[in-house]
Structure 1
Amino acid sequence: MSAAPPTAAPDRIDAPTAVRLAVLAAATFVYVTFEVFPVGLIHDIAADLGVGAGRVGLLVSGYAVVAGAVTIPTVALAGRVSRGTALVVSLLVLVVAELLTAAATGFAMMVAGRVAAALTHGVLWSLIAPAAAGLVPRGRVGTATAAVFGGSSLAAIVGSPGTTFVGELIGWRATSLLLAVATAAVTGALVWALRPGPATDPPPAEPPAARNRRAGKAGASGAVDWPAVLTLCAVAVVLVVAHFLSYTYFALVVAGATGTPGSVIVLLAVFGAAGAVGTYLIGRHNDRAPRRAATVTMAAFAAGTGLLALSFAPAPVAVSWTVAGVAVAVWGGAFAAAGPVFQTGVMRLAGAEADRASSVYVTGFQIGIAGGSGLGAALLGHPVGGLPLVSAVLAAAVLVVVVVRRPVPES
């Protein structure tokens, strides 16, 4: 037998593994792009299908409701097959959903496509981070999670604006067909990325001493500390509510803060770009000091939304623009970083039950989306500047819990 090749440094991610992580990130990119697909083309879709824009808007909020309702049972069902198989199937279902959307001749067919994608949304988001964690050394789980979440950040920068731009050129049905082609390509790449081999083999057995220490933390039976998992998920839900309370009505908030509707596109791009930076930065620090990373992230979120609320104060246009721009950048970077912080924390607490715990987290995330959007709608009868103010108050409460209760575990 030939000598084994030199082993890479335990804290390094080699080039082949980095490529595999990029493929997983591409999977989140196409899923998020389709999730928000109707947003930029809402008027075109409504006109073609002969329905009101409000009904088309329900395609987004309804998607979140369906995804939240089915995540836990579908992930349990996916547990009967390998993680890679479940991820590939979820992307194949997404291809079907995109084809149904492209061929939609009525609103009912459009709904069918959205429901199809929502049914496997939770499967992909519950398994994608554990799959990434399985590709890297234990000390790089936070980095791998941030890399995968980078796909969703890229969707905010390129995916959503890109589909809107292309849709204006060739129509929303043809754009959905292009998305199906792109998703099919990502699916093929995912089959390659998760194929059996050195990069996807199980990690070496944990030393007995380390295993005993971990078992002691989890209890004599070695069971997962579900109260700790649920506490962290609950904290995440509050932050998601705080985010979507304002983000769902981003156009109204930003236009009100700056006094110019044209600022929406610019600041939406700033939000997305800051999200990419936040994802990169959290990937560098989430493994070394996760509790400190969580504290800084929550503080930045509260500061960003609070500053956005302050931008409604009477001031020259240039000052309002500057304050709103800084606020949106801080807010966008913080929220993008929050996803990897919570997801990695849940996986660290759950250990071998990472898939089940992630399904609970994803369900909570969808509840947060629906709850935040609904609370924001209820507050729209008041001055719109109140939305980011409420978001800041909720984020400050999350910050207090993160500092006092320390629900985010150390690596």
Structure 2
Amino acid sequence: MPGALLALAVGAFGIGLTEFVIAGLLPEISADVGVSIPAAGLLVSAYAISVAVGAPLLTAAGTRVPRKTMLAGLMALFIAGNLISALAPSYGVLMAGRIVAALTHGAFFGIGSVVAASLVAPARRASAVALMFTGLTAANVLGVPLGTALGQQLGWRSTFWAVTAVGVVSLAGIALLVPARPSEASGGLRAELRVFGQVQVWLALAVTALGFGAVFGTVTYVAPIMTRVAGFGSGAVPWLLVLLGAGLFAGNLAGGRAADRRPMPALYTSLAGITLVLGVFAVTAHARVPAALTLLALGVTGFMLVPAVQTRVMEKAADAPALASAANIAAFNLGNAVAAWLGGGAIGAGLGYTAPAWIGALLAGAGLLVAVLAGALDRRARPAVEADVQ
């Protein structure tokens, strides 16, 4: 892995860790800052909303800033947010720290994806994006279980100190290893916003929201599914999450290679796989071994989608790839939030803990239809382009 990609992956690891690890520390946080667990849970919701807001805003604000400088500034802000969280004397200050850290999330992944793609030959862009996102998958496989254990043993603040240290390492890596290049010519924010007038950009964002919403809307309820439906003990949940994370890691790398070879077929395959696996999961969730194997398969098919859709957004928004890529991260979080809300509503309505999987299968199927429509528009546009060339 090139040094610059490693620095970006470390940053992705830290960002993924601070997003997901808090779910395992809610009891400790609620007891320490004197709020209920539902109130502590708002620290998760506020993070997701701040990602959706901060992704396009911070990326747009930095359109004329060299990308290395922007990445370093975002990581410095990320460090500040987690430092605030580690030192927070009250719930309100902790919430502020979470919001500050979250504002950098989407912009870092959006700009980082463009930088990662620029470091390699065009034929390997999807693989380079996948390598950067290995940091996010590693956060799920190793970071979240270790960060949760650290917080339970030494106090939840120790986890935020550890995340702050990861941010410092990433900032040093960006400063030393990411090549400095002049800011690319830009017509300004108004010119970059014009890419959102393109149907294909919106179709790509819709695929992201539907596809990832399908996956993480189900993963949100994986603990009750695996304990109350499959019959696992609560002590098995961390190991099941490690199994899911291993699938995410493998799927991300496989998806990068597939998207480099045949981008649209890779997109179709991932979405069809997610649809099928979620439908199967709603059935296999009633037995431990099949449920665990299907959870692994969900991780693989789910993160095969990452490189394909991220590179497609950058391709279709070639005049503003960083801004569109950041918007893609916002779509990712928006899809997750809506799908989790739908799943929770279905469970509350008495449809059972497997209801989120059925809902996810429908969302992924809708995402596949959107992707097929985008592919058809590509094929329709191709003869017109060839005629213009001739």
1:403 aligns with 2:372: yes
Does 1:376 pair with 2:348? no
State the partner residue of 1:334: 301
Deviations 1:342-397 (A, max 9, x none): 10111111223201211221221221122122112211222111111111122122
Structure 1 SS opposite 2:288:
helix
Does 1:140 find its partner at 2:107? no
Residue 306 of structure 1 aligns with an amino acid whose one-letter code is: G
Distance 1:111 1:388, change over 3 A: same
Identity over aligned pairs, percent: 28
CA contact (8 A) 1:240 1:368 kept: yes
* Structure 2, gaps ≥5 residues long: 185-193, 380-390
Q: How many pairs are equivalent?
A: 367
From 363, 378, 385, the equivalent of 2:330 is: 363
- Tell which deviates more after alignment, 117-126 or 145-154: 117-126
Where does residue 33 of structure 1 map in the other structure?
Answer: 17
Structure with more of its chain in helix, by fraction? 2
Structure 2 counterpart of 1:210: none
When the two structures are superposed, what TM-score results if normalisation uses the length of structure 2? 0.89
- Cα distance, 1:96 vs structure 2: 0.8
Residue 90 of structure 1 and its aligned partner are, at CA, apart by 0.9
Cross-structure match for 1:393: 362
CA contact (8 A) 1:256 1:312 kept: no
Q: Is the Cα contact below 8 Å between 2:10 and 2:169 reproduced in 1?
A: no
What's the counterpart of residue 288 of structure 1? 261
Q: Is the 8 A contact 2:54 2:107 kept in 1?
A: no
Q: Show the counterpart of 2:383.
A: none
1:46 to 24, 27, 30: 30
Q: Deviations over 1:157-197 (max 9, x none)?
A: 0111111011122111122112212211111011112233x
Q: How does 1:82-231 map to 2 (within 5 A)?
A: 82-196=66-180, 226-231=198-203
Does the 8 A contact of 1:49 with 1:107 survive in 2?
yes
Q: Which residue number in structure 1 is paired with residue 40 of structure 2?
A: 56
Query: Who is 1:272 aligned against?
Result: 245
1:298 maps to 271
C-alpha spacing 1:281/1:408, structure 2 compared with 1 (3 Å) = farther
Is the contact made by 2:123 and 2:260 (CA closer than 8 Å) also made in structure 1?
A: yes
Residue 352 of structure 1: SS of its match in structure 2? coil
2:232 maps to 1:260: yes
Match among 30, 50, 54 for residue 70 of structure 1? 54
Deviation for aligned residue 1:201: 8.6
What corresponds to 1:213 in structure 2?
Answer: none
Structure 2 counterpart SS, 1:185: helix
Q: In 1, Cα distance between the equivalents of 2:92 and 2:229?
A: 38
How far has the Cα of 1:264 moved from its partner? 2.2
Q: CA deviation at 1:247?
A: 1.4
Q: Check 1:408–1:78 CA distance in 2 against 1; reply closer, same or farther (3 A cut).
A: farther
Q: Is 1:241 aligned with 2:210?
A: no
Whether the aligned pair in 2 keeps the contact of 1:294 and 1:408 (CA below 8 Å) is no
Give the whole-Å Cα distance in 1 for the aligned partners of 2:175 and 2:58. 21
Q: Distance in 1 between matches of 2:3 and 2:230?
A: 41
1:71 CA displacement:
2.2
Conserved? CA contact 1:225–1:350, under 8 Å: no
Name the Cα RMSD after superposition. 2.2
Larger Rg computed on CA atoms: 1
AA aligned opposite 1:282: G
Give 2:301's aligned amino acid: A
Q: Which runs of 5+ in 1 are unaligned?
A: 1-14, 204-221, 314-319
d(CA) in 1 for partners of 2:168, 2:376: 39
Give the Å deviation of 1:407: 7.2
Cα contact 1:278–1:333 (8 A) shared by 2: yes
Match of 1:208 in 2: none
Q: 2:386 maps to what in 1? A: none
Question: Take 1:177 and 1:388, find their aligned partners in 2: how far apart are those partners?
Answer: 36
Question: How far 1:409 moved relative to its partner?
Answer: 6.7
Q: How far apart are 1:265 and its partner, in Å?
A: 2.3
SS in 2 for 1:195: coil
CA 165–223 in structure 1, closer or farther in 2 if over 3 Å, else same? closer
Q: Write out per-residue CA displacement over residues 233-291 of structure 1, whole angstroms, 9 at most, x where no aligned residue.
A: 11211122222321111111222331223342232111000111111211221111111
Give the Cα separation in 1 of the matches to 2:147 and 2:313: 33
Deviations 1:40-92 (A, max 9, x none): 11111111111111111111111111221232222110113111111111111
